[in-house]
Amino acid sequence: MEISVADLARLVDGIVVGNSNTTLRAVSKIEEATEGSLAFLANPDYEPFIYETQASAVLVQQDFSPRENLPKSLTLIRVEDPYSAFARILNWAQKEKKHPAGIHASSVVSTNSEIGEGCYIGPLVIIEDGAKIGSHCQIHGRVSIGKNCSIGDNCIIHPNVTIMDESVIGNECIIQPGAIIGSDGFGFAPNGNNDYLKVPQIGNVRIGNRCEIGAATTIDRATMGSTVIEDGVKLDNQIQVAHNVSIGQNTVIAAQTGIAGSTSIGENCMIGGQVGFAGHLTIASGVKIAAQSGVTKSIQEADSVWQGTPALPIKDYQSQQITLRKLIRSLVLQRLEQLEKQSNVSK
């Protein structure tokens, strides 16, 4: 990364206060920044750092007013939202670091596959028959892409990802290391002999545009039809998405959540970490579920907030917890009174 303050300000519609010709070569946390780096100030708790930072430039809110003298060499870039602007800059910097187009000599690419222009195919990648890769994708080392898969334009597939046969991935998706897309769903039928017969999983996985799949996350193929991840969905690390699940657009799900088969989650939901969903449920759009909750029934009320196991509307859960604490306190006080009476009697 090497860019002038003036050019960077144009990227984020910022207003420069200071030296617009300063060259920036790195991005850093405000408390760790050094000369030549860019930092941002979004949380007021970090304001004390701006008065001693070594950064050459800091993104601040448009109405930021220093309470102390700033370092003389510091340039401010005033923006509407420093955190959002910093994210845009990081995305720009990431794109600048793209690998040059080409296919590494150690990769195995089927002659019956299609690779779009400007793609980087890293070492030991396997691309099987019928696979189609869009333009300007980055496929990093040891990625395996199965038969008849389709991957859109401008995707980044990080090392050791496995994408199984027939999977479909849209444009501008990011798949983090070790994710598995299209593994068999967990389908077994009792055969009457204290044993189970495997049910073949003949469906696929469909992932929309601008999705991100976290490291070591698994998305199972459908038994029939498709497991569907709609546009803009963001899945954290180590999430399990079972067969025939559907997740609506722009929903975000934190780490270690597990979603059992055939559950449907609506649009714009926010799911905390370690949430468990039973199978065959329907979750309305806009629902928020607190971390470590267990969802055992469908949630029909859009934009509602739930917590606990089994999950309850947030106000009901909080009322339940208050009542429980009062009950425990009452029982403890009763027991202390009993012990005090017994002590007095023994005297």
Q: Which residues on adjacent β-strands are paired with residue 188?
A: 198
Q: Which of 136, 140, 158, 243 is catalytic?
A: 243
What residues contact residue 172 under an 8 Å CB cut-off, 6+ apart?
A: 152, 153, 154, 155, 209, 210
Q: Is 276 exposed, middle or buried (0-12, 13-18, 19+ CB in 10 A)?
A: middle
CA separation for the pair 173, 266 (Å, rounded): 20
Q: 302 and 313 in contact (C-beta within 8 Å)?
A: no
Is 136 part of the annotated catalytic residue set? no
Pairing label, strands 188-190, 196-198: antiparallel
What angle (nearest 5°) sits at the alpha carbon of residue 165, between those of residues 160 and 171? 70
H or E, element range at 93: helix 82-96
What residues contact residue 27 under an 8 Å CB cut-off, 6+ apart?
A: 1, 37, 38, 39, 86, 89, 90, 93
Q: CA–CA distance from 81 to each of 5, 68, 84, 85, 202 (Å)?
A: 17, 22, 5, 6, 46
Q: Cα 215 to the chain's mean position, in Å?
A: 9
DSSP reduced 3-state for 234? strand
**Residues classed as catalytic:** 243
